[in-house]
Structure 1
């Protein structure tokens, strides 16, 4: 069942843009206090955190940005990469004056968060990696098959719209059509480059970046997300971090179980600094 506890009050969301070396970056925020920056998966936008923002924003300044190249953020030419996505995050962090912040990343956003945490080190107060792929030689080599996740070829009769819906329908349950609709809207916004986020993730050389992370880290995954669950013990081994499995949800966990997702973030953000316990 979809977790709808404390449904979002969208009229309290604040939207804004900041300049960057690539053009304007779009973000949405809720609340005040210590900043918690949330990074979405591709090809999504900030709306992946629509239900999470008010819950985290009840205690902190919750900020969800549109990743460079997605949503309403600038869409520069040239190949996407995790490193360039992180450049965009860095530009937003500096433009907003976030001297110290908590960082949350989901799926591709988690890989971006790894790169950002490695760069900003002690400025990242805590790191939450949600359903983040552990990108190693096996992942980069395509063992198990990569395939195209979201690609569809536009057709004159519009049937590609249904095809796009069907490509992700298996990750959502009856009653979650609104969330699936938001995915389709986001994917259509970048339809000509819809696979590039996934491709950039598979090229990312993550291993040397992990030792550069100094923030206390939590790796978490929804119980139904069989794509990402195998990464939890790998992050635990590499980072000595805690891991947690949400009681429900799949690839779209922030939308499917927003209250549990937000509680997990709030507990980790609010924990006193100290050594992680595995």
Structure 2
């Protein structure tokens, strides 16, 4: 059974969903999603451990941060861990969540036992240059005729099956007009200065049909020479598309 709660943190309340008991694993979603990205994964990981999927500050039902940055998001993760009395946890992140997870492990290495970076970009100087002038991913202007709903839908339709796209649009609408804040935070992040501080075992996961992140798998792994890699065949941008495969890979890594 999935249970929900709010935790008081220095940056405001953090909303989270949890399942199971035992060793904790904290799950971080992509932008502009919410804990719902892990709806299918939570019960699977919850069979053997305490799985916690949080809404990143500024998304879902969590408090909005004063500044949108990867560092602020990571502080929210550590704030939740403090509130839940988690001295240490495994941390899993997908897309933007992976960048946040990397910063958590870099800023508080003693508190992250294992790290899973799923479909995570390597944001270095070259990556920031490539992103300059790139069209926004999800930014839309709210309109009285509701046409922004179609615009959101059509923008992600090539990468999401319809039943998952509905869930994406719901999460995106909840954070208008700041739907691009997470992507902007990723672009501003100096990841190349931080990944060398990661001390725990790392698993880099790639989804073979993700045109944005899959080409980044080797670049990321090269910066983490002690990491291991796994590929989810047929995996797409939405993590839910191959939830069972993803959960099995994470469980195997956490148990190794």
What TM-score does the superposition give when structure 1 sets the normalisation length? 0.89
Q: Deviations over 1:5-41 (max 9, x none)?
A: xxxxxxx111001111121100000000000100000
Q: CA deviation at 1:122?
A: 2.9
* Alignment partners' CA distance in 2, 1:218 and 1:65: 20
Aligned length: 255
Contact 2:136 2:180 in 1 (8 A): yes
Could you tell me which residue of structure 2 aligns to residue 120 of structure 1?
108
Structure 1 residue 132 corresponds to structure 2 residue 117: no
Against the structure 1 CA distance between its residues 143 and 156, is the aligned structure 2 distance closer, same or farther, given a 3 Å change threshold?
Answer: closer
| 3-state secondary structure, aligned to 2:213 | coil
Could you tell me which residue of structure 2 aligns to residue 243 of structure 1?
229
Contact 2:20 2:47 in 1 (8 A): yes
Decide which of 3, 10, 22 is 1:14's aligned counterpart.
3
Could you tell me which residue of structure 2 aligns to residue 274 of structure 1?
none
Contact 2:141 2:177 in 1 (8 A): no
Structure 1 residue 215 corresponds to structure 2 residue 200: yes
Could you tell me which residue of structure 2 aligns to residue 166 of structure 1?
154
| 3-state secondary structure, aligned to 2:67 | coil
Against the structure 1 CA distance between its residues 190 and 238, is the aligned structure 2 distance closer, same or farther, given a 3 Å change threshold?
Answer: same
Structure 1 residue runs without a partner (length 5+): 1-11, 272-278
* Alignment partners' CA distance in 1, 2:232 and 2:10: 37
Q: CA deviation at 1:265?
A: 0.6
Against the structure 1 CA distance between its residues 123 and 33, is the aligned structure 2 distance closer, same or farther, given a 3 Å change threshold?
Answer: same
Structure 2 residue runs without a partner (length 5+): none
Q: CA deviation at 1:244?
A: 1.4
Could you tell me which residue of structure 2 aligns to residue 8 of structure 1?
none
Against the structure 1 CA distance between its residues 75 and 237, is the aligned structure 2 distance closer, same or farther, given a 3 Å change threshold?
Answer: same
* Alignment partners' CA distance in 2, 1:13 and 1:93: 18
Contact 2:20 2:48 in 1 (8 A): yes
Could you tell me which residue of structure 1 aligns to residue 87 of structure 2?
99
Could you tell me which residue of structure 2 aligns to residue 195 of structure 1?
180
* Alignment partners' CA distance in 2, 1:263 and 1:245: 12
Q: CA deviation at 1:145?
A: 5.5
Could you tell me which residue of structure 2 aligns to residue 204 of structure 1?
189
Q: Deviations over 1:68-121 (max 9, x none)?
A: 000010013x43000000111110011111112111000000000000001221
Decide which of 59, 71, 78 is 1:83's aligned counterpart.
71
* Alignment partners' CA distance in 1, 2:204 and 2:157: 26
Q: How does 1:223-262 map to 2 (within 5 A)?
A: 223-240=208-225, 241-252=227-238, 254-262=239-247
* Alignment partners' CA distance in 2, 1:235 and 1:160: 34
Deviating above 2 A after TM superposition, structure 1's stretches of 4 or more consecutive aligned residues are 142-146
Q: CA deviation at 1:123?
A: 2.2
* Alignment partners' CA distance in 1, 2:85 and 2:241: 32
* Alignment partners' CA distance in 1, 2:135 and 2:149: 19
* Alignment partners' CA distance in 1, 2:169 and 2:74: 24
* Alignment partners' CA distance in 2, 1:226 and 1:154: 28
Against the structure 1 CA distance between its residues 219 and 60, is the aligned structure 2 distance closer, same or farther, given a 3 Å change threshold?
Answer: same
Contact 2:120 2:220 in 1 (8 A): no
